[in-house]
Amino acid sequence: MIAKEYIPIYIVLIVLTLFYIKDKRKKKNDDNPMNIARVFDSVILIIILLVLIILSIFK
């Protein structure tokens, strides 16, 4: 099972990921280089979340 100390981390990562994805959909112009950084940040957050889930499963 997921350790109780990881639950706030999961909640924060999920909220940040949803915020980045929603913000990316709202701004469709590709001229802004910050859009690429937003997509990159959301991908990094998803990868970190998956790593934490895998670590909590095999703990």
HEC secondary structure over the chain: CCCHHHHHHHHHHHHHHHHHHHHHHHCCCCCCHHHHHHHHHHHHHHHHHHHHHHHHHCC
Is 17 or 31 the better-scoring residue by pLDDT? Answer: 17
Overall number of domains in the chain: 1
pLDDT at 47: 81
Is 4 or 33 the better-scoring residue by pLDDT? Answer: 4
Q: What is the pLDDT of residues 24-59, one digit of tens each?
A: 666 555 566 666 666 676 677 778 878 877 777 776
- pTM for this prediction: 0.41
Residue 20's domain spans which residues? 4-57
